[in-house]
Structure 1
Amino acid sequence: MAKKSFNELINSPGMPVLVDFYADWCGPCKAMAPILEQVAARHQGKVKIIKVDVDRNPAAAQQFRVQGIPTLILFHKGQPVWRQSGVVPEPQLNQVLASYVGQRA
């Protein structure tokens, strides 16, 4: 399968896309990983979660003015609709996603 570009991924018409901008050396990013796994399991098939390493993909991080990591940005039909820096607790993240997962293209 051909590797999709970042813009192709966030413009997914079928479902919202949650992007986790992170780095391997970042402690809070490591704390976010199991939260994202739980959220992914809960919203399976309703939201796509992708991780973007800011060290390997500085252009994507720069495009969305990511200043601190982790930064989570939720895209709906290609548009950023929510963003937050720092560790986001699972209940808060589930609540944010719940307002978008029902909105199909």
Structure 2
Amino acid sequence: MNTKRLLLTASLAILLGFTGCGEKKNEQSAAPARSKTEAAAPQKKESFLLGNGKETISAKLTEKGYDFNVTEPVVLIDFFATWCPPCRAEIPHLADLQKRYEGKLKVIGVLIETKSTAAMNRFIEGHGINYFVSNAPDNIDFATTTADMLHQPKNFSIPFMILFVKGKYFRHYIGMVPEEMIESDIKEALGEVK
């Protein structure tokens, strides 16, 4: 009986390990309420510069999503890390979607770890990435603001992808998602553009 339970638990742990990467942190108890005399919380950042040393994309928070300075009507944001196996596994699928929907879809990879430009360039080249990848100082603030906008925890699981149509939130995905599912949603999003 204990052996069956152990095998079932191990199988479940392995299965969950392949759906997404994330770290769980001990949550602190809620902060005490501030009195009226205490200083107000600092303003949340609303404009972000996503860059890779060659190109910069701005993202300005709006009431319904983000205003991106790109020409493509559909934007797919992918929050990822180089150490995350599901994140690496999705790269060929995102590259395929970027190629297939060129001019209509802008895939933007947003690195949520610290890497040198040289290390990121080696990673991009080694994995055949043909889409924009941001390794900018604003990445973490952008990720935190986006997670908050979607009522996700600050330490969300990755890969974490969000689809926008003309800057308006359309759909999001947590963990590894089949390419066919994302493509179906891209087609639906493009239908809203017309």
Normalized against structure 1, the TM-score is what?
A: 0.85
Matches within 5 A, 1:73-88: 73-88=162-177
Give 3-state SS (helix, strand or coil) of 2:86's partner.
helix
Matches within 5 A, 1:1-105: 3-7=56-60, 10=68, 12=70, 14-56=72-114, 57-65=139-147, 67-104=156-193
Q: Decide which moves more: 2-11 or 24-33.
A: 2-11
What is the aligned residue count? 105
- Give 1:63's aligned amino acid: T
Question: For the aligned residues, what is the CA RMSD?
Answer: 2.3
Deviation at 1:87, TM superposition (A): 1.1
Deviation at 1:103, TM superposition (A): 3.5
Normalized against structure 2, the TM-score is what?
A: 0.48
Q: Distance between the aligned counterparts of 1:83 and 1:28, measured in 2?
A: 16
Structure with greater contact order relative to length (CA < 8 Å, sep ≥ 6) = 1
Deviation at 1:5, TM superposition (A): 2.0
| Consecutive unaligned residues in structure 2, runs of 5 or more | 1-53, 61-65, 115-138
- Give 1:28's aligned amino acid: P
- Give 1:74's aligned amino acid: L
Q: Distance between the aligned counterparts of 1:87 and 1:15, measured in 2?
A: 24
| Consecutive unaligned residues in structure 1, runs of 5 or more | none
